[in-house]
Every structure is written in structure tokens, then in C-alpha cells.
A and B are shown apart, each in its own frame.
Chain A
Amino acid sequence: MAKLDSQLFHIDALDELASGNSVFHNLDPRAKLVTTLVFIGTVVSFGKYEVSALIPFAIYPLVLISVGGLPFFYLAERVLLVAPFAFFIGILNPFFDQTIMVHLGSVSLSGGWISFFSIMLRFLLTVGSALVLIALTGFHAVCMGLEKLGVPRPFVVQLLFLYRYLFVLIDEASRMIRAKSLRTFHSRGTKIRTFGSMLGHLLLRTLDRAQRIHLAMCCRGFDGHVRLICPLKIGWKETIFVLGWVLLFFSMRFYHISEHLGLMIMRNIV
């Protein structure tokens, strides 16, 4: 079960990336948050069968990754880990929607396949950009940005604790699984009784631990507000960042760049 603690959930490394120092790292978290939200909104607003118009949107996460000096493959791996969710949402489309919509030479594609690709592409773009946002900003700073943007405090604190206790939960669970596997010899899998008891113990243990962490936070004056030292100033850099990207997103939304580019190339060739 080494996977659980070392591989799958190494999300904490995202926070380490956030301590980097680049133009984008130093922006106000609110600017990055708003831009990413507009990005996600625009990507999602496209029609069901849209594929080609979505591709240019990859520019946003890619630029952020390259300027912010983030490790591309590390992030790509994290995105792929959650890919099965999107995959299962979209995979039934090709069976239900079999109208042929596109002919590529001798291959014809049904509407179902196109909408499936569209779902996968949207997933890559939205989840990718959200991860890039956290890697550039840090989860706590994102939460602080949310609070400053007027999101009700209980929600923000919930999010903060969810994130904090995730590691506690994984930690406890992996220790428990290790202890169990050391005393399980031939039988494969977990009996439902053992599983139930483990789950109950996990709940009790994490509650205990969560209480101690909460106490530690209260001891240091935690009152439900997230406070961090990070640039909280909307200056000209932030304004340019938000306006520039939002303009680009809207123009890509209403002006089909790939189609025009394709037509232009075709015209030149002919």
C-alpha cells in the first residue's frame, strides 16, 4: 500500500511549488483566482460537440506553467490520476449517440465520440488550470483569496480543513493498512467485517487527531480567518493579467481561431 502514501496523493508537493518566485507567483491570489474561474466558465460554455475551438485554450495553463517554472510532467500526472472520473462520464456517449458527424478520409466519427473527446478535453483544461492555480498560489492563499472575494467564511474554513485533514486521513489510513497487511497472510482482499471495523477506527482516530490539530490552531489564536503574508494588492500587474487573459478567452470563445488558422493555411497552400 506504499502507493497510497507516497505516490497517489503527493498533492502536498503542490504547496512547495507555490513557494517559488516568478511574476505569476507574486501576483495577488485574487487575480489568479478570478482569471482561472473565467477560464473554466468559458471552457465549459462551449457546445456539446465542440473540440477544435477548445484546443487554443490550452495556452492559458501552458503559459502559466512555463513562466511559473512548474514541472509539466508532475502536473500532467496529477491530472491523469483523476482522468478516470471524466472518462466514465463520457464513455457511454459513443454508444448512445451514433449519428455520423465527421468524415476523416475513410474514417467516420459519430457524434458520441466527438462529445466524448470534448468532455475529455474540457476536463484536461479545467482540472489542469485549477492545479496550476494551486501550484502557483498555494492552497491557503487560494482560500484567503476566496475569503477576500466575499465567499462566506464557513465555506472557506471548511475547504481549508478539508485540505488539512486530507493528509491526516491518508496518514492514518496508510498506517492502518500497513498494520493489517502485516498480519494478513494468505487471504486476499479484506473481509467486510474487518473492513467495517477498520473504517470505524479510522473515523475515531482521525476525529481524535483532528481535535488535537484544532486545539493547536486555537492555541495560536485561530478565529476562523485565514491570514497569510502574501501580496494582497491589486496593482497594474494584476489588472493587466486579469484583463489580458479575460480578453483572450472571450475572443477565443467568439472567434474560432483554429478554424480561421486552418482556412488561412489551406488558402495559402491552394
Chain B
Amino acid sequence: MSHHIVEAKDLFFRYPDGTEAVKGISFKITHGESVAVVGANGAGKSTLLQHLNGYLIPTKGELRIGEVMLTRKNVHAIRRSVGMVFQDPDDQLFMPTVFDDVAFGPLNLGLSEENVKAKVNQALETVGMLHVIKRPPYKLSGGEKRSVAIATVLAMSPDILVMDEPSSNLDPLARQRLIGLLKGFHHTKIIATHDLDMALELCERTIVIHDGRLTADSRTLDLFQNESLLAESGLAKPLSMQGCHVCSGTAKQFQPRTVNHTH
């Protein structure tokens, strides 16, 4: 299906203050692909991601989502097909109850009341959050908020899911649950992250960005074995590929100290 393609051609973006955040990035992501966008802090990941839903318009180059070229005029069509999950779920949840929040998008799409309710229930069920439907979002835990934020996007039935650091600020169990959830989605997924272990589990392909340029684009596993490339881009090999420190005997042992405090 050609309409789920994301294609960037020589994308440039310069902020009004003159900072060039994206300097000529090109890639093509096809239907159903799951792609990780990795890079150090300030590499330009977030700026790139903000193009994907039309928040930023490239100063040069072009971005195509499906058959639609990103311009100021057709931003709405782009936003309709690209669902964006923000880094901070508090930015994404702004209505008084979880139900209202998830219903916000579908209502703006002009769906009927019955339809909206069905969509909300379905989206919340998918992320396993149906039990919090009546609660105010700000009273949920971090993991719950993240799941609800994903539900708000799912309820709009996007073709492409774009996520900014979905595993940040989650406890290990919530993180694992999130990975399991994302594995079950068949959307085209673009995930910007520092969590290379998650990228390894979720994405077959990885794009590395360094200083606004694309420095690598290949199979995740191959890429993460290239330690020099990772180091150049301000990254490090994922923990799961570093071998077990405990088994190899290289793990640091902490001994209880026997110092007498006299003060």
C-alpha cells in the first residue's frame, strides 16, 4: 500500500535563530516497517520528528507522506495519517478525564457519538487501560499516562505511528509492557529513542543521525555491532549485546565497608 510510505529527500531545516538542525537527510520508509531513529542529544532527532506531522516545514528539500507532499496547505491531511506520541505524556493529555482525552481526536474528526465511544473503548482496550476511563489523566502513574497517550493516538486510526522517546521515564516493568504492546502494532512505526535495547527488540531497521546528518541507515543488528560508528555518533552498544558481566566475572562487586565513624 503506497499511502503509508514516508519519504524524505534532502531535507534541510534551519531555526529562525540560524541554527541548522537538519542538514540534508534522505530516507524512505515503506509500509509496515518499524524504524528506530537514534542519535545523541541535540543530534536533530526531535526536529526531524516534528517534520513528520507537519509542525515544522522543511526550509529545503521535500517530505512525502503517502501521496501527500508536506506543505503548509495540506498539514491537516498529513496529521490525519500520522499519529504522534510525545515524549512527555503530560503535554499530550489535556482533558479532564481519560475518556474525554481519548475522544478528543475522534470528535474533531467529526465521527458520530456512537462511533467515538466505540473508538475510545477499543483504543483503551488495546493498551489495557479501560479501567481508568473515568479518571483524570494527571492522577495516573507514568506508565499509565504513556499508555493512555498512545491510546489517544490510536483512537484516530493513524497509518503511521511516530514516537518520541516512548520508553523514557518508565520503570523496567512498564517499559517491558510498552515494548510488548508496540510489538503487537502493525502500523508503520518511526521511533526516536536513546534506548537502543528497545530499538533492538522493536525495529528491524535503524537510522543514525549525528549533527543533523544521516550517518547510517541499515539493519539494526548489523548497525549496533559497529562500535566505532556508534561511538562517533555519541552512542554505545546496547546492554543486551555487551555480554553478561556477572557470568564473565567482570561485574564489580560491592563489599560492605567497615569504616568506623567517630564523628
A contact set with B: CB distance below 8 Å: 12, 15-16, 18-19, 138-140, 164, 167, 209, 212-213, 215-223, 225, 227-229
Contact = CB atoms under 8 A, between A and B. Distances in A.
Which interface residue of A138, A164, A229 has the most chain B CB atoms within 10 A?
A: A229
Nearest to A220: B105
Given A212-B91, A215-B55, A229-B116, A221 B100 contact: no
Contacts of A221: 76, 79-80, 105, 108-109, 156
Nearest to B139: A16
Given A212-B88, A212-B91, A220-B156, A16 B108 contact: no
A216 B91 contact: yes
Contacts of A212: 86, 88, 91
Contacts of B96: 12, 15-16, 18-19, 138-140
Interface of B: 50, 53, 55, 76, 79-80, 83-84, 86, 88, 91-92, 94-97, 100, 103-105, 107-109, 113, 116-117, 134, 136, 138, 152-153, 156
B81 to A, nearest CB: 12
B91 A19 contact: no
Contacts of A167: 138
Chain A to chain B: the 4 pairs with minimum beta-carbon distance, closest first: A221-B108, A220-B105, A15-B96, A227-B107
Contacts of A138: 96
A17 to B, nearest CB: 10
Contact of A213 (B79, B94, B100): B94
Nearest to A171: B90
A164 to B, nearest CB: 6
A220 B97 contact: no
A12 B88 contact: no
A16 B94 contact: no
A117 B88 CA distance: 49
A217 B84 contact: no
Contacts of A18: 96
A224 B138 CA distance: 23
Contacts of B107: 227-229
Contacts of B84: 216, 219
Nearest to A225: B108
B156 A16 contact: no
A163 B105 CA distance: 20
Contacts of B138: 12, 167
A216 to B, nearest CB: 5
B122 to A, nearest CB: 16
Contacts of A225: 108
Nearest to B101: A220
Given A216-B91, A221-B80, A229-B116, 9 more contacts: A16-B136, A19-B97, A19-B134, A212-B86, A212-B88, A215-B91, A217-B94, A219-B83, A220-B152
Contacts of B86: 212, 216
A218 B25 CA distance: 25
B153 to A, nearest CB: 8
Contacts of A209: 91
A140 B80 contact: no
Contacts of A12: 96, 136, 138
12 contacts: A140-B96, A140-B100, A212-B88, A213-B91, A215-B50, A216-B86, A216-B91, A219-B83, A220-B104, A221-B156, A227-B107, A229-B107
